[in-house]
């Protein structure tokens, strides 16, 4: 089975409605289903982690905290 392209993968994954990006569980499910390889899963997880941190930091700054 050919590996999915990023666009195909994102089209198949349900994304978090707040961030618009795949959740960690979506990435794990895609890996287990063979849609992505280990390197792609790791890259997506890193991307999700960075984006979640940025969203959290932006929220904290908007509430007057030093993020």
Task: Look at 21 and 10; give whichever has higher pLDDT.
Answer: 21
Domain assignment present for residue 38? The answer is yes
Domain assignment present for residue 11? The answer is no
Q: Give the confidence band of 1 by pLDDT, cuts at 50, 70, 90.
A: very low
> Whole-prediction pTM value?
0.61
| Count of domains for the chain | 1
Domain assignment present for residue 10? The answer is no
For residue 38, which of 47, 27, 22 has the smallest C-alpha distance?
27
CB atoms within 10 A of CB 22: 22
- pLDDT at position 38 is 92
Domain assignment present for residue 46? The answer is yes
Structural tokens at position 17: 């409605």
- pLDDT at position 29 is 85
Report, in this order, helix, strand and coil percent for the chain, each rounded to 5.
60, 5, 35
Domain assignment present for residue 42? The answer is yes
């Amino acid at each position: 089975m050919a590996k999915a392209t990023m666009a195909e993968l994102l089209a198949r994954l349900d994304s978090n409605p707040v961030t618009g990006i795949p959740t960690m569980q979506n990435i794990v499910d895609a890996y287990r289903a063979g849609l992505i390889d280990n390197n792609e899963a790791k890259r997506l997880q890193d991307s999700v982690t960075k984006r979640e941190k940025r969203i959290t930091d932006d929220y904290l700054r908007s509430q007057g905290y030093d993020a």
